[in-house]
Chain A
Amino acid sequence: MGLFDTILGRTKPAQPKLDDLFALPSAAITLDAGAGFKPTGSGSVCFRSVEGRSFSDVEKDVRDLLNVSSSNEGGLPVEVSKDSFGYTWLVSSHMSDDLEALVTDLHAVNSALVDNGFGPQLLCTLVSFRDDQERRLGLVYLFKRGTFYPFAPLAGERRDNALEMQVKGVIGDDLKFEPDLGRWFPVWGAPGL
């Protein structure tokens, strides 16, 4: 934020960075090789709805778009849910080995919102993984930072910090990781995780 924006009390809304999401499929291979976590095929986009007709129209278009794409490729239809913070999650499910298609789907949601001027409303994207012991892991992509961080929930709203650090060690070079640990905020009960 520049000096003038400070003096005038303005903030430019943060625009999302979308492109780094495409680094995910190759990082997933490294993650499988290095830590034994495989994608579950489910991923979601989280955004803050805007009140008013215009946003609900866009939201509906996005859902239709994803439903068409998933029915063409034999995927499951898109699920929509709201979390306890009032944020909307669009969950897209694919075959577990088809991470490319999943990322393409997620990217479609993001672009649709951005094209309609709602880019600042995008919060994060989450792609979920699981290992042989059924441990859960989410890779969260922060739109405004263009960075990733791991989120490993345990029972009872606790985080497996050791696992998160391990994941950072394994794929820290493949993805742009969020350097500020204070921004690795938990997404408890995220749909699709």
Chain B
Amino acid sequence: MARSRYAPDRGLTARMTATMFLLGLVFVVFVGLIIVIGAASKASIAIIVLFVVVLGGGMLIGSLFYSDKIALRTAGARVVTPEEAPQLHGMVDRICALADMPKPQVAISDSDIPNAFATGRNADHAVLCVTRGIQRRLDDNELEGVLAHELSHVAHKDVQVMTIASFLAIIAGLMIRMAFYSELFGGGRRSNNNQNAAMMMFAIMAVSIVVYAVSFLLIRMLSRYRELAADRSGALLTGQPSALKSALVKVSTEMARIPTRDLRAAEPLNAFFFAPAMALNSGGASLSKIFSTHPSLERRLAELDKVQQQLSGH
């Protein structure tokens, strides 16, 4: 067995594990509190909780199942054949053959914003989309780096992982709304019994808000780690970390001049439909950092430097 130049990054693995553990912990605490509150109250609350879980689960499965179609429509992209885009298809063919993964569908969006994303519920239903803007701005080597990054998202099953990770936030979000409306409409006719139920609803709302906030931050953190992981795998795959670095620099500086409205930021539940390639904000204030789905440019470049050293070591 030849020695490996492709050892996993232990630090990144450890941080990702810790994040997931915290997310799981929050989930357990959340479920526990809901059960405690539900047990102390009337059956009507249990029905609401059940309804929310079913609804949330349905939304989750729906968004996972239709992630490719939704993302393509949102981005205004269409699937292209090898005859229409031979160079792009050729690049994807080769990267897939190097990585031994099935080839995704390839789509192009006419947008001039330099961006790319990969989505789909699994590797067999994946779509890889690039915009005209990124094709125009990057040279072949850089574009290949971006494609390898996106295909790494597919290989890591990031859409699945992020969708499941966001389940908690979806449930908590729905719970807040449900509790809010039942407070609103149930408030009129109050007997002693109803007052008790109203208190319970209030407690559920408070717990849900806290859970929503915490899980939101954890999901964002997880998303940033998964971007770093995709950067790393992509650079190892093509063997050209510098090309990816230069693509990141180009796109980030271009992006700075464009209004920073991430497609995914439009609606909290939409946030995890797809996993786009590029950070829209590079660095900036620390507050925007913890809300960001992507790591800062400096951080990504520094991690790619490590890959570069790893590859060139004797």
Query: Which A residues are closer than 8 A to B by beta carbons?
Result: 1, 5-14, 48-55, 84-87, 114-121, 123-124, 142, 144-145, 157, 180, 182-183, 185-186, 188
Distance of A55 Cα from B238 Cα, bound (Å): 13
Q: Shortest beta-carbon distance, A161 to chain B, in Å?
A: 13
Is B191 part of the binding interface, using a Cβ–Cβ cutoff of 8 Å?
A: no
Q: Is the CB of A49 within 8 A of B311?
A: no
Stretch at the interface among B44-52, B68-76, B85-93, B113-121: B85-93
Q: Is the CB of B94 within 8 A of A13?
A: no
Q: Is the CB of B233 within 8 A of A48?
A: no
Q: Is the CB of B91 within 8 A of A85?
A: yes
Q: Shortest beta-carbon distance, B216 to chain A, in Å?
A: 20
With A52-B308, A144-B99, A183-B103 as known contacts, state yes or no: A8 contacts B17, CB within 8 Å: yes
Chain B residues with Cβ below 8 Å from A49 are 239
Interface string of B94-106 (1 = CB under 8 A from A): 1011111011000
Q: Is the CB of B5 within 8 A of A85?
A: no
Is B161 part of the binding interface, using a Cβ–Cβ cutoff of 8 Å?
A: yes
B123 — nearest CB in chain A belongs to which residue? Answer: A1
Other-chain contact of A145, B16, B20, B100, B229 (Cβ < 8 Å): B100
Q: Is the CB of B311 within 8 A of A185?
A: no
Other-chain contact of B2, A51, A115, A180, A186 (Cβ < 8 Å): A115
Interface residues on B, range: 35 or more
With A9-B158, A10-B233, A11-B156 as known contacts, state yes or no: A85 contacts B90, CB within 8 Å: yes
CB-defined A-B contacts under 8 Å, sample of 13: A6-B160, A8-B8, A8-B229, A9-B12, A9-B229, A10-B229, A51-B239, A51-B311, A54-B313, A54-B314, A86-B141, A157-B86, A183-B103
A3 — nearest CB in chain B belongs to which residue? Answer: B157
State the main secondary structure of chain B at its contact with A: helix
Distance of A18 Cα from B225 Cα, bound (Å): 35
CB < 8 Å A-B pair total: 131
With A9-B16, A117-B2, A117-B5 as known contacts, state yes or no: A14 contacts B156, CB within 8 Å: no
Distance of A180 Cα from B102 Cα, bound (Å): 9
Is B280 part of the binding interface, using a Cβ–Cβ cutoff of 8 Å?
A: no
Chain B residues with Cβ below 8 Å from A48 are 94, 98, 238-240
Other-chain contact of A11, B103, B155, B239 (Cβ < 8 Å): B155
With A50-B311, A86-B140 as known contacts, state yes or no: A11 contacts B91, CB within 8 Å: no
Q: Shortest beta-carbon distance, A170 to chain B, in Å?
A: 24
Distance of A12 Cα from B233 Cα, bound (Å): 9
Interface centre among A11, A14, A55, A142 (most CB of B within 10 A): A11
Q: Can you add 7 more A-B contacts, CB < 8 Å, to A6-B160, A8-B13?
A: A6-B157, A9-B226, A51-B240, A51-B311, A85-B94, A86-B144, A115-B2
Chain A residues with Cβ below 8 Å from B16 are 7-9
Is B312 part of the binding interface, using a Cβ–Cβ cutoff of 8 Å?
A: yes
Q: Is the CB of B2 within 8 A of A114?
A: yes
Is B3 part of the binding interface, using a Cβ–Cβ cutoff of 8 Å?
A: yes
- Which residues in chain B, 260-314, are within 8 Å of chain A measured between CB atoms? 308, 311-314
State the main secondary structure of chain A at its contact with B: loop
With A7-B20, A11-B152 as known contacts, state yes or no: A183 contacts B242, CB within 8 Å: no
- Which residues in chain B, 189-235, are within 8 Å of chain A measured between CB atoms? 225-226, 229-230, 233
Q: Is the CB of A120 within 8 A of B13?
A: no
Q: Is the CB of A51 within 8 A of B312?
A: yes
Distance of A145 Cα from B101 Cα, bound (Å): 10
Q: Is the CB of A10 within 8 A of B312?
A: no
Q: Is the CB of B98 within 8 A of A14?
A: yes
Interface centre among A52, A53, A182 (most CB of B within 10 A): A52
Distance of A55 Cα from B99 Cα, bound (Å): 19
With A9-B230, A51-B240, A51-B311 as known contacts, state yes or no: A14 contacts B99, CB within 8 Å: yes
Other-chain contact of B144, A85, A114, A142 (Cβ < 8 Å): A85
Distance of A122 Cα from B84 Cα, bound (Å): 27
Q: Is the CB of B2 within 8 A of A6?
A: no
B141 — nearest CB in chain A belongs to which residue? Answer: A86
B226 — nearest CB in chain A belongs to which residue? Answer: A9
Chain B residues with Cβ below 8 Å from A114 are 2
Distance of A14 Cα from B98 Cα, bound (Å): 7
